[in-house]
Amino acid sequence: MVRFLRRHPFVTVIGLVALVTAGAVVFSGVTVWREAHHDDASELDRVDAIVVLGAAQYDGTPSPVFAGRLDHAALLFEQGRAGVVFVLGANRPGDRTTEAEAGREYLIGRGVPSSSVVALPVGSSSYTSLRAAAGAMRDRDLSSAFLVSDPWHNARIQRMAADLGIEGFTSATWTSAARTEETRLSGYVRETLAYLYYRVSGR
């Protein structure tokens, strides 16, 4: 074996890189899966805020995926888990409103007091949106939050929140449009790679 390694250093390096990469992907996949199936709200009664990650909206109407997240946030608020809800998300070219504003109107329609819902129409990615949330929370002397998104996002957004100074606890919704096994598998695969990329790049 030692003789082979000496004779074929390039092959050895390639093999080690492949082994490390495979190990990192497996570790990320296990982390994403484990966090997706854990709800911090089952262990923690109350935090400072509820933070809802944005998703598609159509002319002010939240998509089924976004509505699922908002319904879950409304339930947490109704249960007295926090006193304020931050809704995140900017708009896409051609949109007349933002994800954050559409989400805010939806929550008010669900009975959440308008004074308790804050729209943060900033950011076109989870990281930039959470950065806006971190700033808004600091301005209000808030530090902890339930992070509401789809389950496979849990590991990545919790890590992002921690890096941005938010004490984040994930409480995902399983009632979004992503109900088929194929869609969920796609979500896990996508987030495994996204989580690994974030751990490497920091973005």
pLDDT in tens, 94-117: 778 999 999 999 999 999 999 999
- Domain of residue 129 covers 40-178
Pairing verdict, β 49-52 and 144-148: parallel
CA 102 to chain centre: 18
Residue position matching structure tokens 């109407």: 61
Check: pTM over 0.85? Answer yes or no.
yes
Cβ atoms < 10 Å from Cβ of 76: 20
* 75 in any annotated domain: yes
**163: pLDDT confidence band, cut at 50, 70 and 90?**
very high
195 assigned to some structural domain: no
Inside any domain, residue 9: no
Task: Specify the pLDDT at position 22.
Answer: 73
Note whether 64 and 160 are within 8 A (CB).
no
Q: Does any domain span residue 17?
A: no
- The count of structural domains within the chain is 1
Q: Give a yes or no: residue 33 inside a domain.
A: no
Does some domain include residue 192? no
List of residues 6+ apart from 36 with CB closer than 8 A: 151, 152, 154, 155, 172, 188
3-state secondary structure string across 86-138: EEECCCCCCCCCCHHHHHHHHHHHCCCCHHHEEEECCCCCHHHHHHHHHHHHH
In the prediction, which pLDDT does 69 show?
A: 96
Residue 96's pLDDT is: 85
CATH number, position 101: 3.40.50.620
**200 lies in some domain:** no
Residue 143 placed within a domain = yes
Per-residue pLDDT tens digits for 21-64: 677 677 788 888 889 989 999 999 999 999 999 999 998 999 99
